[in-house]
Structure 1
Amino acid sequence: MDEPMFPYSRFVVDGFDADALLGVVRDTRFEQRLLAAGHFRACVQRLVFPEFSLDSGAYTLPIFASGSFSQGMIALALAVTCVQPMWANGRWIAAGQIMVFAEDSELNVRPSPGGWQWAVMLIPRTVLQREAVQRVGRELRLPKVGWYSRAAAPRDARNLREGVFTVLQDAAGWQGIVRPEQLEMQASTLLGVFIDAVAASDGGPERRGLGSCNERRRDAIVRQAEAYLKLQLDNPYDSRALSRHLGVGERQLERLFRDAYGHGPCHWHQLARLNLARSALRHARGSVGVTEVATRFGFAHLGRFSVMYRDVFGESPRDTLRG
């Protein structure tokens, strides 16, 4: 007799909580930082099938997420909904445009304001190729390292988005025991729309997977700048020092940061400190006070820190500390 299965899970993060969002993609850790003021809410869903998984998250405010996908798994990712294209590894990606990542590939991503739902399928390369041969009669051109993406035809983008949305909506309505045949039908639908999307986009020269030199350089500069600024979080922002460290002009840095994060490096520095302060307050458990946390992350004026904190997170530092 077939064993019953419980493959679907859903949870809501009400108020920004970086720790709760770390594992929103199965077997990965994506660090996330809030990039805009207001009340943050995320609805995260997961479907686990015998040979692959699908994760999806709907966010009310833009964040910046950085991490690597699972070893041994191809990652197929997309924005199910986004008002404007999202920034990913140095390029702009529209809703419904498939991104194909080799095993253990990195992703830095930021949506534009206005609400965002993402989805990621993790699947072994051999399984994906086996299913592709059955569906489209050939293996897919998958990257051996790195990732690729190219603009999707409107029909392909729509079919992929609608397929993901429909499967998640149906799974959310499941009641009681889920039978294997139900799961098999959902798996078939997802594999079909993802394979069709990749097959429609994997033509053209192999260099398409690596992105342009300009894209790679922009992404590298942003990563180097972020690494440098993370070491300076207890110091005031110094644009000249950052520019000298990278060998890049201040105006160019401003443009690159606005593309990647939606704001300049000075505001990035401030938001990064506020996000770290929030994490510290959440983990304090009475061991430290607001003043000590504010001072630790370079906020000399407690009143200004409290105002900025409330503007971004919608609550006072003391509320977070108590919470």
Structure 2
Amino acid sequence: MYIYRRTASDNGEDLARAIPGANFYCVSESGPSFGGRYWHFHVDGLVLSRLEVDQASVVTTDERVPNFKVWHVMSPRCSANGEDVGSAELVAVRPGEGGTMRSADKADVTTFGFEASRFARAPELELPFGASSPDSAGRWRLASTVPRQRFVTLSQIMLTQLDTEPRAIQSAGVRAALRNNMLEAIVAMGEAGTFRPDRATAGRHTRIMLRFEDALDAAGDQPIDMADLCRRCGASRRSLEAIVQLRTGKSPWEYQRWRRLWRARAMLRQPGAETTVTDVAFRLGFWHLSRFAANYAATFGERPSDTLTKALGTRSRPQPRSSAISG
């Protein structure tokens, strides 16, 4: 089986739907707009992906494919699960789990993963990140940044070439060559490092954070009651506040409001014939219209009425660009 897909979008929700095997939430922390790209390449049990965001963001993923363990190579000024990622570290995510990335600026994440059952049948490969690797979340610490940078550079070159010649992946010879090159670069990182598991509390905090995101997602456009939110997350108010603050830089209530502001922007940029700013604000639980307008303007650099006016005056709106080849 092989898959190649590239998605570019100015909407975090559209980009989230491009990532297979996970629920994905992306909230921009700075700037009046969102921009991101995602590549996904899967060939014979080996997955390579790359996410790029053009501004400081909080990205949360959960419900990873259960039989895949994934490893993230993050650019500078990123943190994973509340802890900064070093320039010679990889971040491991256990099968069936996820985590939170926070970037202080534009960022990229290159990810690789192995399908456990497929590589368990190939012990002769002796893969350091394969079936025999520790079944826990944590960090792989490299003695040098060189193998990590070589892997990222190779990944960028491969994805650029597939963008230029997407039909190449239809060749079995090309797929074998790409897979071998990826394995070589991955093995070099594995042989140059050692594994350090996360603290015991990190897994519990991750599960609480994922339940928090799921609760906000289930609530849709409506704010969620504080007591109900704590019950759904399985955490006290103080614990929830501490965990969300650590992972996102915001309190649960600030983060919920931030998500709803971005939701308001999406609704105003793609309005119906009867859409009004007041209707959007009330639907999302913003009961003080002046404060809503002020917070919106401070975040996006324009009033909500300006966003709506421009959207209504635009005959054709740009759509997310996506291309995919599979077989």
With normalisation by structure 2, the TM-score equals 0.73
Q: How does 1:97-108 map to 2 (within 5 A)?
A: 97-108=89-100
User: Given the alignment of the two structures, is residue 269 of structure 1 paired with residue 226 of structure 2, yes or no?
Assistant: no
Aligned residue in 1 for 2:161: 170
Hey, what's the Cα distance between the residues in 2 that align with 1:175 and 1:220?
38
State which of 19, 31, 34 in structure 2 corresponds to 1:37.
Answer: 31
TM-superposed deviation, 1:297: 2.3
Contact 2:12/2:34, CA 8 A, preserved across alignment: no
Hey, what's the Cα distance between the residues in 1 that align with 2:309 and 2:15?
20
TM-superposed deviation, 1:132: 6.4
Secondary structure in 1 matching 2:66: coil
Hey, what's the Cα distance between the residues in 2 that align with 1:124 and 1:139?
8
After superposition, what is the alpha-carbon deviation per residue over 1:94-147, rounded to whole angstroms, capped at 9, x for unaligned? 356323333212222222x22111122343113334566325699653344x52
TM-superposed deviation, 1:20: 0.7
User: Given the alignment of the two structures, is residue 118 of structure 1 paired with residue 112 of structure 2, yes or no?
Assistant: no
State which of 238, 242, 247 in structure 2 corresponds to 1:260.
Answer: 247
Q: How does 1:147-166 map to 2 (within 5 A)?
A: 147-153=137-143, 154-166=145-157
TM-superposed deviation, 1:162: 2.5
With normalisation by structure 1, the TM-score equals 0.74
Q: How does 1:23-172 map to 2 (within 5 A)?
A: 23-66=17-60, 67-79=62-74, 82-84=75-77, 86-95=78-87, 97-111=89-103, 113-129=104-120, 133-134=124-125, 141-144=132-135, 146-153=136-143, 154-172=145-163
Hey, what's the Cα distance between the residues in 2 that align with 1:278 and 1:138?
41
Q: How does 1:171-210 map to 2 (within 5 A)?
A: 171-174=162-165, 176-178=167-169, 179-203=171-195, 208-209=196-197
Secondary structure in 1 matching 2:147: helix
TM-superposed deviation, 1:60: 0.7
Aligned residue in 2 for 1:12: 8
TM-superposed deviation, 1:19: 2.5
* Cα RMSD, aligned residues only: 3.9
Structure 1, unaligned runs of 5 or more = none
User: Given the alignment of the two structures, is residue 285 of structure 1 paired with residue 272 of structure 2, yes or no?
Assistant: yes
TM-superposed deviation, 1:6: 8.8
Contact 2:209/2:244, CA 8 A, preserved across alignment: yes
Hey, what's the Cα distance between the residues in 2 that align with 1:40 and 1:115?
11
Secondary structure in 2 matching 1:70: coil
TM-superposed deviation, 1:32: 2.1
Partner letter of residue 248 of structure 1?
R
Aligned residue in 1 for 2:295: 308
Percent identical pairs in the alignment equals: 15
Bigger relative contact order, structure 1 or 2 (CA pairs below 8 A, ≥6 apart)? 2
Secondary structure in 1 matching 2:92: strand
Hey, what's the Cα distance between the residues in 1 that align with 2:88 and 2:94?
19
Secondary structure in 2 matching 1:276: helix
- Normalized per residue, the structure richer in strand is 2
How many residues are treated as equivalent by the alignment? 301
Secondary structure in 2 matching 1:192: helix
TM-superposed deviation, 1:150: 3.2
TM-superposed deviation, 1:293: 1.9
After superposition, what is the alpha-carbon deviation per residue over 1:241-295, rounded to whole angstroms, capped at 9, x for unaligned? 98xx72638xx946x5443213444532320221333455567634643212211
Judged with a 3 Å threshold, the aligned counterparts in structure 2 of structure 1 residues 281 and 129 are, in CA distance, closer, same or farther, namely farther
TM-superposed deviation, 1:213: 3.2
Partner letter of residue 140 of structure 2?
R
